[in-house]
Amino acid sequence: MRANLRNTLKLIIGTLGFLGLLVAVQAIVSHNNHRLDLTPEKKFTLSPRTQQVVKNLKRDVQVLAFINSDRPENFFLEDMLGRMANLSPHFHYSLIDMNRNPALARQYHAVQYGTLVFESDGQRKGTLMSSGESAVVSTMIQVTRSGEKVVYFLTGHGEGDLANEVPTEGYMKLRGALADQVRTLSLTPSGAVPEDASVVVLLGPKAQFLPIELSALDAYVQRGGALFILLDTNGSPSLVPFLEHYGVHLPDLIAVDPGKRLYAGEVLTFRASATARPHQMILSVNAPPIFSLARVVEVRGDETKGIIARPILATSGEGFATAPQNITKTG
């Protein structure tokens, strides 16, 4: 009898001790709010750049995430947004089921599940969760950036001239379509991109870039700037290794697509198709873009470095690559 009582007391004391340990662990976890990411790919860890941007927020940012509540990928989205919210009192988010709130989705022009709409101080901009963490951070930077949007067109390397009035060149139409303020930019001798630059455009440069110019462009991108590069097959060779740094490989090859050629036209001119997962920037394009002597582009993103590379347009299943010296034979 005494042995049974003694065993019962030991069990009660052990149970109470275990419960006390659980309470202590829960209190520590709740107080520190830290989570360990044991996945090899670090799926649940924000990149250093993301952490820095969120921690340095100076004003409130509200994120509306339009989702389908039944989809499993919502877990990763909510985890990412939750981690950001833990880093800054200025970061807030809401999960909105598009099926239950269609009017609100239309108000924010959300047409796809996974659409993220960032708002801050009257500015609004959207992106897709599928575009990756780097795109999410870039969007956040853009809505928190103060001042007028300014588009800079780089000069000094044989770039296209926006003052060109020849209709077939398309520069006049481009200039008219840009509602933002447009300026030209030379990176010498200043060696820096202006702070008010919303985007810097390299419109078909042909000449080599100086190291100081490439350093200025890299520094601009690292601080959250947007770089739009249009490089022809005979374009500036110095941009090829520069783009490798961002996961974009440019082999010396020309894209050919007989299956998408224009009617009775040459195979070197074809209609490019959207990829299986269309990028947001071409969702509003009504007709397939036409390319001639298009350069082959290979994307090689590196998520460990925060580089998410996504193709925008592609050839069909009949497409292939050929060396520039074979152009006359191919065409």
For the domain covering 48-144, report its CATH number: 3.40.30.10
Task: Indicate the pTM of the whole model.
Answer: 0.55
Per-residue pLDDT of the chain (331 residues; tens, 9 = 90+): 555 555 555 555 555 555 455 444 444 444 444 444 434 444 557 888 788 889 989 999 999 999 998 888 888 899 999 999 999 999 999 999 999 999 999 999 998 899 999 999 888 989 888 877 877 887 888 888 766 678 899 999 999 887 776 766 677 667 666 645 788 899 987 789 998 898 999 999 999 999 999 999 999 998 888 999 998 888 899 999 999 888 888 998 988 888 888 877 777 888 888 777 777 677 656 678 888 888 888 888 776 667 777 788 888 888 888 888 877 644 4
What is the rounded (10 degree) CA torsion for 7, 13, 15, 21? -150
At the topology level of CATH, where does 147-245 sit? Rossmann fold (3.40.50)
Domain spans in the chain, listed from the N-terminal domain onward: 48-144, 147-245, 248-331
